[in-house]
Amino acid sequence: MPRISIEEFENIARERVPFMGQLGVQVEQLEKGMARVRIPFRDDFIRPGGTIAGPVLMGLADLAMYGAVLTLIGRVELAVTTNFNINFLRRPRPGDIIAEARILKLGKRLVVGEVGLFRDGDEEMVAHVTSTYSIPPQR
């Protein structure tokens, strides 16, 4: 059972991560060590060449990873990204983007995970992310 609910995480996204909250991100699934998050398509996500802009993909991936981390440690808002690596694999055509995050290793101070990004309806990944989060020490 995850240590945070979908409703609680959506509230955090709206209130504490305002940029992502303003984009209408929808949390579709939270399980222990896993998060699935969708960003509904908007015309202003498109960059020249008819592709969804990289910063949109990166923000969505980071938010999904944050959700996956919180499913394991609970509401620790000061858990922060310490490393983020993205490989853009193919051009995402206009459409909703789905990020599927999963935790690979939970340590005492660091959490390592990966995120696959998909255009809704497509099976092939458009980007792959590896990321590390830092867990603040308990007071």
Q: Is the pLDDT of residue 16 over 90?
A: no
Q: Is the pLDDT of residue 21 over 80?
A: no
DSSP bridge partners of 38: 26, 98
Question: How confident is the model at residue 107, as a pLDDT?
Answer: 97
User: Per-residue pLDDT averaged across 84-106, rounded?
Assistant: 97
pTM of the model: 0.95
Q: Is the pLDDT of residue 15 over 70?
A: yes
Residue in the block written with tokens 């908007």 = 42
Question: How confident is the model at residue 139, as a pLDDT?
Answer: 52
| Sign of the Cα pseudo-torsion (121, 30, 85, 47, in order) | positive
Answer for the pair 84, 62: CB distance below 8 angstroms, yes or no. Answer: yes
Instruction: Tell me the DSSP string of 29-54.
Output: EEETTEEEEEE---GGGEETTTEE-H
Class of the CATH domain delimited by 6-134:
alpha beta
Percentage of the chain modeled with pLDDT above 90: 86
For 17, the token pair is 């991560």
User: Per-residue pLDDT averaged across 9-36, rounded?
Assistant: 89
User: Per-residue pLDDT averaged across 11-31, rounded?
Assistant: 86
Answer for the pair 63, 99: CB distance below 8 angstroms, yes or no. Answer: yes
Percentage of the chain modeled with pLDDT above 70: 99
